[in-house]
Amino acid sequence: MTPILENPDAVSRRIGQAIARRRRASGHTQEHIAEMLNIGSETVSRIERGLIVPNILRLLEFAQLFDCTVYDFLSDSMPAPLPASANPAAHRLAQLLDGLDANDCELLLDFAAAFATRLKRAQT
């Protein structure tokens, strides 16, 4: 049987990063979040670093604290599939990313974003 997730550690890190982004945007510290969830601040840190994968109940608690949905944490960690009718360039980029590990995907996307920004500046 083929595993559903090629790199579960990368998914854990991205979920943790999504939680950390929302925590920082809310202005809370890890310590304050830990108090509200009745867990240790080290646990919050480990979740944000992807060392601990929060269970669904904990994700619901984070979502309630940050006024978002659990899907927001998950969608930040998984690329959305593109329909075949999407922009052909976007579809081609998705094909190029397919099969790469999460770190290589991030590297390629960061490069594409920087390059696109540079090209947009050159056009103005």
**What's the pLDDT band for 98 if we cut at 50, 70, 90?**
confident
Supply the CATH classification number for the domain 8-77: 1.10.260.40
Tell me the average pLDDT of the chain: 85
41-72 pLDDT, tens digit each: 999 999 999 999 999 999 999 999 999 999 88
Sign of CA dihedral 8, 19, 21, 34: negative
What was the pLDDT predicted at 26? Answer: 94
Which pairs with CB-CB distance under 8 Å and at least 24 residues apart come from 73-82?
Answer: 73/15, 73/18, 73/19, 73/22, 74/15, 76/14, 76/15, 76/17, 76/18, 76/21, 77/11, 77/14, 77/15, 77/17, 77/18, 78/11, 78/14, 79/105
Enter the pTM of the model. Answer: 0.60
Domain boundaries, the chain: 8-77, 88-123
Token pair recorded at residue 84: 């075949």
What was the pLDDT predicted at 80? Answer: 57
**What's the pLDDT band for 108 if we cut at 50, 70, 90?**
confident
Where b means 16+ CB within 10 Å and e means fewer, 55-93 reads eeebbebbbebbebebebbeeebeeeeeeeeeeeeeeee
